[in-house]
A and B are shown apart, each in its own frame.
Chain A
Amino acid sequence: GESVGLHLPTLSVQEGDNSIINCAYSNSASDYFIWYKQESGKGPQFIIDIRSNMDKRQGQRVTVLLNKTVKHLSLQIAATQPGDSAVYFCAENIRNTGKLIFGQGTTLQVKP
């Protein structure tokens, strides 16, 4: 079935360290992937996206890596800050459907 999963429900890191959040997806027809950040009491907020014809994309302090061979997606956050504490979701778009399938979320806790 369609599913996007995350390997760890909670990730705890020290302020200043790099964080890596992983995600496994199952649908080979997925052509677009997004990482969202959700802070408590708010809606998901776009962080970065990547299309299936790429394997890496960088933003400000964030990098997304896509490995289509093993259907794996990761989000790297450099120099993690307290403001990065949130739940992070990966989502895959099933080609030509407009349907975003979300993973279960990883809670990132940043220790000062």
Chain B
Amino acid sequence: DTAVSQTPKYLVTQMGNDKSIKCEQNLGHDTMYWYKQDSKKFLKIMFSYNNKELIINETVPNRFSPKSPDKAHLNLHINSLELGDSAVYFCASSQVASGGYEQYFGPGTRLTVT
């Protein structure tokens, strides 16, 4: 059983396009996250949602817009893609928003912008 799943696994697109990445968790968790991992493997949080409400919004260009239709899903929409957006994007979930519990990560979506 997949706990945190993401689609697509790979995404190749051209500059200027708009794309979305979807995430679903079947763990019954209240909190979900998006992370970006750059080419040097550095992982940085972008957003987190608790029960469909945005609670962490790091310094991310407003071309990135997360959307949570329900607490089991957190999607990431990116407008006007740029070369620097190329990275691996990970979705994660955890039991509570305040932290202190493990975050479960999805398999990642490798985004390549050409």
A binds B: yes
A residues in contact (CB < 8 Å) with B: 31-32, 34, 36, 38, 41-46, 49, 51, 87, 89, 93-102, 104-105
What residue in chain A is nearest B31 (Cβ atoms)? A98
Q: How many A-B contacts are there with CB distance less than 8 Å?
A: 65
Nearest 9 Cβ contacts at the A-B interface: A43-B105, A98-B99, A93-B99, A102-B43, A32-B100, A98-B97, A44-B105, A105-B41, A46-B102
Chain A contact residues: helix, strand, loop or mixed: strand
Closest chain A CB from B84 CB (angstroms): 19
Q: What's the minimum C-beta distance from A101 to chain B, rounded to whole angstroms? A: 8
Q: Which residues of B contact A (CB under 8 A)?
A: 4, 31, 40-45, 48, 50, 55-56, 90, 92, 94, 96-108
Q: Is the pair A97, B40 in contact by a Cβ cutoff of 8 Å?
A: no
Contact B99 A97 (CB under 8 A): yes
Q: Say whether A44 contacts B48, CB under 8 Å.
A: no
What residues of chain B lie closer than 8 Å to A42, measured between beta carbons?
Answer: 107-108
Tell me which residues across on chain B come within 8 A of A34, comparing CB atoms: 102-103
Cα distance, A93 to B56, chains bound together (Å): 13
Q: Give bound CA distance, A94 to B43, whole Å.
A: 16
Give the Cβ gap from B81 to chain A, nearest Cβ, in Å: 22
In the bound complex, residues from chain A placing their C-beta under 8 Å from that of B98 are: 96-98
When the two chains form their complex, are residues A102 and B42 in contact, meaning their CB atoms are under 8 A apart? yes
